Amino acid sequence: MSVVIRPVASTEAGFVGPPPTTCAAEATMAGRLDLDALSAAFDALRRRHPALDAAVRPGEAGYVFASSGDQRAPFTVEPVAKLPFHSTPHVDPSRALAGLWVATTGTRHRVTLALSHALSDGIHGYALYTELWSVYREIVRTGRIAERPPLPFPESSEQFVADHGIPVESDAGRDRLDGIRWYGAFPAGRPTQPCLPEVTSLRFPPEVTARFAAACAGPGMHAMLSGILLAAERAGFVDEPTDRPIRIGAMTLVDLRRRLGVPEPTGVTNFVGASFAAVEVTSAAGGGPAAVDAVVAAGSEVARHVRADLASGRCVAAMVPSAEPADAGAAHSGPREPAVTLSNLGPLHVELPAELTLEDLRPRITMDSAPLHIPPGPDVASPRLPAPIGTIYQAFTFSDRLGIEAITLGGTTTPAARSAVAERITLLVHEVADYQPRSLA
């Protein structure tokens, strides 16, 4: 019998689906992985965080989080001949809110902690993942587990804000996105197969990363990354002249735990504020100092809004239900085209025992977008329909290498457009690093 824990908050319900959204931390490693010890570590993590075993159920007034004695987050091992490039599993929140998946060749392994996005954001998930490996190291070293008391189910962002009397702006600033465009769109017609995200994974060598970081000392790392990614998005409009100006929008995600006094990363579910900005990108081609200057200008505009929104508290507005009056909501109902999402996770690392070598570590986010596709009908004038989400960018550093994951919903973009954007990102990262003394001193 299920026991209701609490209602699913409005800021969490969108991740329940359909379709449900999964976020994950994924590591690739080589060496001897003790699967029994990993299973025991995951069991300990589940006992410490009972929310992992909870599920989403229909309630009287919407969804609820609930638990029962016979449900648990799964631990799955899949022997493979070769590790796949992508192996992020989907979490079905009606069964459990998390799961640990291992793909293994026997000598190389990919270990993925996947969580329902209704329970966890990237910071929450990364904290759980590092805790998992901390327990694993303890088991391998001592053969024992230091049991700790179970933690309560995490609060929603809106409940935390209300309980602590945090003031909330009535306007999140989405009107800044008026007139923006995105190069992707949903193709018409309902897919018959799952539409998983298209993911472009970029990694830059340590020497390029070091020069790039030095170039960012003035404008700031997030500003430079924002400028590069927005400038590169312009290249996705492959059927338009490269010199035609296009207004591109950005939603910058900001983790507010420290600023608002959340004691533990896992004490809340999704605790990410947002700042909105838009820039006009005038060119999809060319390099040199002019391209770097354009990157600096675009990134500085985004950073200006982020600083102002943090100072005013406007970033908090994205974490709570809209407080705008009905007439204001109608006047600023948001752009027809989506903004791109910018998330900078910073340095990532997990400590493994000596018998394992960490090869890669990356964040993941995935969903089957097929249920969102709308078949054409008499009211659909265009064969292509606006997508609800633009490119999701997750930037981070791992092992002294800058990493950028570019994620688009399945079926919304063409290979040519994704390739053009990836090539432009690569070019601009190198241009910023190479032209740093001349353009950014």
pLDDT: which is higher, 242 or 127: 127
CA 261 to chain CA mean position, Å: 22
pLDDT: which is higher, 369 or 323: 369
Two tokens, residue 200: 């472009």
CB neighbourhood size of 287 (10 A): 14
State how far the Cα of 288 lies from the Cα of 284, in Å rounded to an integer: 13
DSSP conformation letters of 340-369: EEEEEEEE------TTEEEEEEEEEEE---
Helix axes 221-233, 206-215, angle to 10 degrees: 110
Residues 261-286 have a mean pLDDT of: 93
Residues 69-92 pLDDT 10s? 788 999 999 999 999 876 678 899
Residues 101-142 pLDDT 10s? 999 999 999 999 999 999 999 999 999 999 999 999 999 999
CA 224 to chain CA mean position, Å: 19
Is it the case that residue 333 has pLDDT exceeding 90?
A: no
What pLDDT shows up at residue 439? 46
- Identify the bridge partners of residue 385 per DSSP, sorted by sequence position: 186
State how far the Cα of 325 lies from the Cα of 412, in Å rounded to an integer: 33
What pLDDT shows up at residue 327? 42
Collapsing DSSP states into helix, strand and coil, what is residue 203? strand
Is it the case that residue 305 has pLDDT exceeding 60?
A: yes
Is it the case that residue 349 has pLDDT exceeding 90?
A: yes
What pLDDT shows up at residue 171? 87
pLDDT band at 331 (very low <50, low <70, confident <90, very high): very low
Residues 317-325 have a mean pLDDT of: 70
Two tokens, residue 322: 């809209």
What predicted TM-score, i.e. pTM, was given to this entire model? 0.91
Please choose, from the candidates 27, 29, 36, 26, the residue with its C-alpha nearest in 3D space to the C-alpha of residue 107. 29
Strands (E) located in 320-426: 340-347, 356-366, 384-385, 392-398, 401-408
Domains in the chain (CATH in brackets) are: 3-142 (3.30.559.10), 167-439 (3.30.559.30)
State how far the Cα of 386 lies from the Cα of 177, in Å rounded to an integer: 15
What pLDDT shows up at residue 438? 46
Is it the case that residue 324 has pLDDT exceeding 60?
A: no
Strands (E) located in 34-142: 55-59, 62-67, 75-79, 98-104, 108-116
pLDDT band at 373 (very low <50, low <70, confident <90, very high): confident
Is it the case that residue 326 has pLDDT exceeding 80?
A: no
Is it the case that residue 264 has pLDDT exceeding 60?
A: yes
Is it the case that residue 188 has pLDDT exceeding 90?
A: no
Two tokens, residue 67: 């638990």
Mean pLDDT of the chain: 90
DSSP conformation letters of 184-247: --EESS--SS--PPEEEEEE--HHHHHHHHHHTTTT-HHHHHHHHHHHHHGGG-TTS-TTS-EE
What pLDDT shows up at residue 382? 53
The pLDDT > 70 percentage for the chain reads 92
Two tokens, residue 367: 């969903």
Task: Look at the chain and count its residues.
Answer: 441
Residues 400-424 pLDDT 10s? 999 999 999 998 999 999 999 999 9
